[in-house]
Amino acid sequence: MINVNETKRTSLPPISSRLDSGVMVITFGDFDPFHWNEYTDRFSELLSGIARMTRPAVVVEPRGDYFGSALLDQLLRLYKKVSNAGGTMAFVPGNSVHSEILRQTRLDQLWPCFATVGDAVTHLQSSRQDE
């Protein structure tokens, strides 16, 4: 039996963000259910920050193994916040499983997918200049 008090943190933070040439890059790292509150707190901070942005451009990059319904829910909430602010979002699948899940759920039709963060950032920058 696992003693929750003895569980060690994995490679947190589960969510990190950075600016790359004016585009927010959000990386979803390892998902640890024992730190769900910390995860949701950080995600809420990101959503609040995006709500204050004008036409945000966001690249999502999952790096962890988990890519289930809880993460998909977070991604859809993120997309709604970005699109309601007049922004755009792109996706960089971390592996073939992520790509397949996006294809099966047809979310790949909602978010353009790219092989690298650099490609996604370039695409979002050029999309903003074309408007």
Residue 42's CATH number: 3.30.750.24
User: In DSSP terms, which residues pair with 59 in a beta bridge?
Assistant: 25, 90
Residue-range definition of the domain harbouring residue 88: 9-130
**pLDDT at res. 130:** 66
Is residue 60 situated within a structural domain? yes
pLDDT of residue 8: 42
What average pLDDT does the segment 76-101 reach? 93
Domain annotation covers residue 30: yes
User: Is residue 21, in this structure, part of any structural domain at all?
Assistant: yes
Q: Does 29 map to a domain? A: yes
Chain centroid to CA 113: 12
Identify the band that residue 3 occupies on the pLDDT scale cut at 50, 70 and 90.
very low
List the single range of 23-27, 110-114, 116-120, 124-128 with lowest mean pLDDT: 124-128
Regarding beta strands 15-20 and 23-28, do their DSSP bridges make them parallel or antiparallel, or are they unpaired? antiparallel
Residue 61 lies in a domain: yes
- 3-class state of residue 100 by DSSP: helix
Question: Which stretch of 8-12, 53-57, 81-85, 86-90 has the lowest confidence by average pLDDT?
Answer: 8-12
In a domain? residue 4: no
At residue 131, the pLDDT reads 61
Does residue 1 form part of some domain? no
Model pTM score = 0.81
Per-residue pLDDT of 5-64, as tens digits, reads 443 444 546 788 888 988 999 998 877 777 778 888 889 999 998 888 889 999 999 988
Q: How confident is the model over 115-126, as a mean pLDDT?
A: 94
96-106 average pLDDT score: 93
What total of structural domains would you count in the chain? 1
Question: Which contiguous run of DSSP H or E holds residue 4?
Answer: none
Six token digits for residue 63: 């790096």
Q: Is residue 121 assigned to a domain?
A: yes
